[in-house]
Amino acid sequence: MGKGVATLTPWWRHTEIDSDAILNALPTAIVVVDGNNRIMHVNSAGEQFLRGSAQYLQDKKITDLLPTDSPFFSLLRRVRSLGQVISEYDVTLESPRIGTRFVNIQATPLPEHPETVVIAFHQRSIANKIDRQLTHRSAARSVSAMAAMLAHEIKNPLSGIRGAAQLIEQNTSPDDRDLTRLICDEVDRICNLVDRMDPFSDGSPVERDAVNIHQVLDRVHQLAKNGFGSHLHFVTDFDPSLPPVLGNRDQLVQVFLNLVKNAAEAAPESGGEVTMETAYQQGVRFAVPGSESRVHLPLKVTITDNGDGIPDDLKAHLFDPFVTSKPSGSGLGLAMVAKIIDDHGGVVEYTNKSKRTTFRVMLPVFKDEALS
């Protein structure tokens, strides 16, 4: 006992921890920029976020990686002018290099070098959007009883419209018969929707099969040009190599007809433009709440208008039933869109910037085993 007791030194006093190793262990993308917006440092998550190695990104201007009209740069200016931490939520970053990213941003000036800013990009999982759609789905059920009562009242005038169109068809020129045929086809489609299911209920599952999304969009385009969108300029940019989607054709027509109609109503009377695009997102997988698996939603359809955008007070509730900015609107169109896309295992979202509103619908592709 007289020899004394050995003193144990805490391990951390013997270990020199590399600050870079700490930063690289973080799942959050960290980027440090100087007063000229040149990248001084980036951690491993930041390399993945900006899609480049630290060596490549060093001294690169971040304006070379993100468009100068991005809300990110106004955030940087505010951080430098105020000299304090600023957070921005629900930011969409888009560029050819990084693609489309949904992030929350936190920017902090360095005390000794106030022009130098440390930026943390917290990527928001698409699961947040799916979570919100589950809420919208619950709200949509509240109109189920009303829709069931209206079904009978809807079918009665539809049968009259169909009969009138058939009579007109007998006495019109061949050129006009395409329009009367279009009227009859649409009446049949709407009656089929009413007969098979209440669009807001969780009744028996609808039949699904391989659907060519371009045939759906072509039908929507034809309906819009010959009706509510006759005054608009339509731009289409379709990827012809897209595989089919597993879905219900009538319901998908209803979805995109609603989105295009909303776009047409938002676009200006003079110079109004609606753009319809399709693309395949290779390797894009999303986490789903309550599941360890990740969902592959590679098929993307976007509908963009050049209107004034969505009012700020409606953005958080855009897909809720009875929410609308139109004096005569029912507020059910986007609620129906969210419900149908959710039933198809997809996601619908929107972005609103520079007076251009874009709705994106992401869907799974058809696989033979999906029907087995």
The overall average pLDDT reported for the chain is 79
Residue 107 bridge partners (DSSP): 86, 119
Confidence check: pLDDT of 128 > 70: no
Lowest mean pLDDT among 150-154, 214-218, 289-293, 358-362: 289-293
DSSP code string of 100-116: EEEEEEEEEE-SS-TT-
More confident residue, 322 or 233: 233
The pLDDT of residue 138 is above 60: no
pLDDT at 255: 93
The one-letter amino acid at 62: I
Mean pLDDT of 285-311: 73
CATH 3.40.50.1470 is right for the domain spanning 129-371: no
- Phi-psi domain of 322 (left: phi exceeds 0; alpha: psi -120 through 50; beta: other): left
Q: What is the pLDDT of residue 137?
A: 55
Which residue type, as a one-letter code, is found at position 77? R
Q: What is the mean pLDDT of residues 58-80?
A: 86
d(CA 249, CA 296): 21
Q: What angle do CA 41, 46, 49 make, to 5 degrees?
A: 145
Pairing, β 86-95 against β 39-42 = unpaired
User: Could you tell me which CATH number the domain at 23-124 has?
Assistant: 3.30.450.20
Determine the Cα–Cα distance for residues 61 and 370; give it in Å rounded to an integer: 46
Instruction: Round to whole Å and give the CA distance between 1 and 54.
Output: 56
DSSP 365: B
d(CA 255, CA 334): 8
3-state DSSP call for residue 351? strand
Q: Output the pTM of the full model.
A: 0.53
The pLDDT tens digits for 177-189 are 888 888 888 888 8
Residue of 123, 107, 104 lying closest to 46 (CA atoms): 123
- Residue 291: pLDDT above 60? no
Mapped to the 3 state alphabet, what secondary structure does 36-97 carry? CCEEEEECHHHHHHHCCCHHHHCCCEHHHCCCCCCHHHHHHHHHHHHCCCEEEEEEEEEECC
Among the listed residues 339, 361, 337, the one whose alpha carbon sits nearest the alpha carbon of residue 350: 361
Rounded Cα distance, 188 and 202, in Å = 23
**pLDDT tier, 9 (very low <50, low <70, confident <90, very high otherwise):** low
Provide the 3-class DSSP secondary structure of residue 165.
Answer: helix
| Dist. CA 277–CA 236, nearest whole Å | 6
| Higher-confidence position of 158 and 251 | 251
Domains of the chain, residue spans: 23-124, 129-371
Q: Strand locations in 144-208, DSSP E?
A: none
Who's near 112: CB < 8 A, 6+ residues apart? none
Which of 358, 303, 361 has its CA nearest to residue 337?
Answer: 361
Beta bridge partners of 41: 32
Q: What is the pLDDT of residue 367?
A: 78
pLDDT of residue 253 exceeding 70, the answer is yes
Q: Is 306 helix (H, G, I), strand (E, B) or coil?
A: coil
Q: What is the DSSP letter of 310?
A: -
Across 302-327, average pLDDT: 73
| 197 band by pLDDT with thresholds 50, 70 and 90 | very low
Backbone angles phi, psi at 205, to 5 degrees: -65, 145
